[in-house]
Amino acid sequence: MASQLHLEENMDLAFERGDLTAPKGHALLYFRESGGYGKLYATYVVVLPISIDLVKYMPPFLANQVPQVNAQELSAFAFPPMPEEVGGQSSLEALATTRGDDLIFGGVVSPNQVQDMLVQVNDLVQEYAQRYQSYIEGAIPTMSVDDSRDPENLGGQGVKEVLFELMGERDRLAELAKLIGQLRFAVE
């Protein structure tokens, strides 16, 4: 049997606490073990409210080596990535209520099928993130063209400017030499 997951392919998220149309951006995602043992496995899902550019926070010598990563891929994640065994249903509900988290049932799984569980968690995280993003886009007005000219809406320095400032004099000269070489090649 290829997969022990017993979920429909395009199943909606099963919110047990919270609102499917207005996700909070943080949720306890849990699964029930197949085989009737009743064990529960859970992970915590977070959708970051601010998009990040990971390259901006890397040392300059690593920044050019890292492939471009989609900000959407980094904006939502589950931790731990593999759901851990947790207490009973009532303790999960109490924890979600106390913390103000959404509580989502992810389905029935076999904990022995690690790859399948990781895929299922990732799929549900992405669906949750998409629903959150749709909700936020509808709830918060987007910045108009006129707003973008206001001093308080102007962005900070770009990634390259920050990296350049962090470099020593020798690294700056090496970077400039590299850029001049690229410019010469482009002109020819």
Mean pLDDT, to the nearest integer, of 44-54?
A: 86
Asked if the structure places residue 69 within a domain, the reply is: yes
111 shares its domain with 26:
yes
147 in a structural domain: no
Residue 114 maps to a domain? yes
Mean of pLDDT values over 144-152? 50
**121 and 65 fall within a common domain:** yes
Q: Which residue has the higher pLDDT, 113 or 10?
A: 113
pLDDT band, residue 9 (cuts 50/70/90): very low
Q: Are residues 18 and 65 in the same domain?
A: yes
Looking at the domain assignment, is residue 4 inside a domain? no
Q: Specify whether 102 is located in the same domain as 29.
A: yes
Q: Which domain holds residue 183?
A: 155-187
Three-state DSSP at 70 gives coil
pLDDT at residue 4, rounded to an integer: 36
> Does any domain span residue 31?
yes
Q: Are both 159 and 132 inside the same structural domain?
A: no
State pLDDT tens for residues 92-134.
999 999 999 999 999 999 888 899 999 999 999 999 999 999 9
**Of 88, 94, 99, 82, nearest in space to 43 by CA:** 82
pLDDT for 8 equals 38
Calculate mean pLDDT across residues 61-65: 69
- Specify the higher pLDDT residue, 12 or 187: 187
- Residues 92 and 181 reside in one and the same domain: no
Distance from C-alpha of 164 to C-alpha of 172, rounded to nearest angstrom: 7
Whether the Cβ atoms of residue 76 and residue 48 lie closer than 8 Å to each other: yes
In a domain, 121, yes or no: yes
Whether 54 and 126 map to the same domain: the answer is: yes
Q: What is the mean pLDDT of residues 55-81?
A: 73
Q: Helix (H, G, I), strand (E, B), or coil: what is residue 17?
A: strand
CB-CB contact of 34 with 15 (8 Å)? no
Q: Are residues 130 and 173 in the same domain?
A: no
Total number of domains constituting the chain:
2
8-state DSSP, 34: T
For residues 23 and 114, membership in a common domain is answered with: yes
Tokens representing 139 are 């709830």
Higher pLDDT, 38 or 15: 15
In a shared domain, residues 93 and 161: no
Q: Could you tell me if 176 and 111 lie in one domain?
A: no
| Same domain (yes/no): 117, 29 | yes
Distance CA 167, CA 175 (A): 9
Determine which of 14-28, 104-118, 151-165 has the lowest per-residue pLDDT on average. 151-165
Flag whether 50 is in a domain.
yes
Whether 149 is covered by a domain: the verdict is no
Statement: residue 90 has pLDDT above 60:
yes
Res 43 pLDDT > 90: yes
